[in-house]
Amino acid sequence: GFSVFSLIGLTNNLFFRPSVTIKDKAAFLIPLTIDFPIQSSNVFRKPKTIAIPYLGGGAVVTTGDDSSVELLITGGVDVPLSDKFTATAGVDIGFSDDTDVGLKFGIGYSF
């Protein structure tokens, strides 16, 4: 499938990470996550963020003939590549009658 995702900061470590995944039908993922930034330790320079693991939960809303609202657990890591670009990898797990697992990999642009 194809995904479009976003990152909206609520506090320094609390984020809203909405996304939509389109395959046979559309699924809207609405998680709230907590970030755990990992920074370099350099005595002579300002610490630099190396990676940002995150974990959270929320809801998955699916469309189509069998549309539903399911529980969502999500986790992953963002790796800053520059001031504007971030690599991201994550896993989303939706729970209903069966368990759906999705993996996502991508590059994000900050503006």
Ordered DSSP codes for the chain: -EEEE--EESSSSEEE--EEEESSSEEEEEEEEEE--EE---SSS---EEEEEEEEEEEEEE-STT-EEEEEEEEEEEEE-SSSEEEEEEEEEEESSSEEEEEEEEEEE--
CA distance 38 to 31: 21
| HSE-up of residue 47 (Cα within 13 Å, Cβ side) | 8
Report the pLDDT value the prediction gives residue 57, as an integer from 0 to 100: 96
pLDDT in tens, the chain (111 residues): 788 888 999 999 999 999 998 888 888 999 999 999 998 887 778 888 899 999 999 999 988 787 889 999 999 999 999 989 999 999 999 887 778 888 999 998 887
Report the pLDDT value the prediction gives residue 21, as an integer from 0 to 100: 87
Report the pLDDT value the prediction gives residue 48, as an integer from 0 to 100: 86
